[in-house]
Amino acid sequence: MVRAGLSPERLTLAGAELADEAGFDQVTLSALARRFDVKVASLYSHLKNSQELKTRIALLALEELADQVAHAVAGRAGKDALMAFANAYRDYARAHPGRYEAARFRLDPRTAAASAGVRHAQMTRAILRGYNLTEPDQTHAVRMLGSVFHGYANLEAAGGFSHTDVASQESWVWTLDSLDAALRNRATP
C-alpha cells in the first residue's frame, strides 16, 4: 500500500485547481479523493471537513490575489495605481475563476480578520491616498471601488457582457476612467 503523500496544503492546492477547472461548487472531498486516487475517508486525517477545505481555498485565493495586487501597484500612484490595482483584480478573476469565486466565500469573522482580506483593504486605502480624500469619504470610496471591481468581475464571469459586440475591455477602461474622474472630483483642495 503506497502512501499518496497527502497534506492540507496539497489538498488545498488541488482543490483550487479543481475550482478553476470545474467551478468552486464542484469542489468536493469526493472529487478530490478521486483526483488523488484515494478513498474519501482518508482526507479526514488532513482536513476537519469539507468546510475547512473551502475555507483554505478561500484563504489561498485571498493571499494570491493580495500578492498580485501588491506587485502590480508597487511604485505607482494616482490613476496609474488605480488602474494597476483594478487590472490585477480583474486579471486574477479571469485567470482563476474558481479561486476568485472562492475568495468571495463567506468566512467567519475571526478567520476573515486573520486573512489577506485585511491587506486588500489596506491596499485600497493606499491607492486612495493619491486622491486626497478625508474620512469618511475614504471609507465611502473604498466601498465604491470594491463594489465596482467585484461587481464587474462577477458579471463578466457570469457572461453578462457577452451579448453585445462592445468589447468588455473597453467598458472596463471607460469605467476606470470614470471612477478616476469621480475620485478626483471628491478631492479636498
Partner DNA sequence: GCGTCTACCTAAATCCTGTAGGCAAATCGA
Partner DNA sequence: TCGATTTGCCTACAGGATTTAGGTAGACGC
Give the Å distances, CA to CA, from 74 to 5, 56, 124, 148. 38, 27, 13, 22
Q: How many CB atoms lie within 10 A of CB 187?
A: 12
Out of 14, 16, 19, 29, point to the residue binding DNA (CB under 7 A): 29
Give the Å distances, CA to CA, from 73 to 41, 67, 70, 77, 141. 43, 10, 5, 8, 18
Question: Is 152 one of the binding residues for a copy of itself (CB under 8 A)?
Answer: yes
CB closer to a copy of itself out of 1 and 158? 158
Question: Is 166 one of the binding residues for a copy of itself (CB under 8 A)?
Answer: yes
Supply φ then ψ for residue 120, to 5 degrees.
Answer: -60, -50
Out of 1, 158, 188, 189, point to the residue binding a copy of itself (CB under 8 A): 158
Question: Is 134 one of the binding residues for DNA (CB under 7 A)?
Answer: no
> Nearest distance from residue 100's CB to a copy of itself, in Å?
13
Q: Choose the binding region for a copy of itself from 33-41, 54-62, 76-84, 173-181 (rule: CB under 8 A).
A: 173-181
Who's near 176: CB < 8 A, 6+ residues apart? 82, 83, 86
Distance between CA 11 and CA 145 in Å, rounded?
33
Q: Tell the burial category of 158 from Cβ atoms under 10 Å away from its Cβ (0-12, 13-18, 19+).
A: exposed
Give the amino acid at 112: A
Out of 10, 76, 119, 186, point to the residue binding a copy of itself (CB under 8 A): 186
Question: Is 22 one of the binding residues for DNA (CB under 7 A)?
Answer: no
> Nearest distance from residue 10's CB to a copy of itself, in Å?
27
Question: Is 142 one of the binding residues for DNA (CB under 7 A)?
Answer: no
* Range 90-129, binding a copy of itself (CB under 8 A): 104, 106, 109
Q: Which helix (H) or strand (E) holds 88?
A: helix 78-95
CB closer to a copy of itself out of 32 and 172? 172
Out of 5, 75, 136, 189, point to the residue binding a copy of itself (CB under 8 A): 136
Q: In the chain, how long is the greatest CA-to-CA distance?
A: 72
Out of 13, 42, 76, 168, point to the residue binding DNA (CB under 7 A): 42
Give the amino acid at 134: T
Residues lying near DNA in the complex (CB under 7 A) are found at 1-6, 28-31, 38-42, 44-46, 48-51
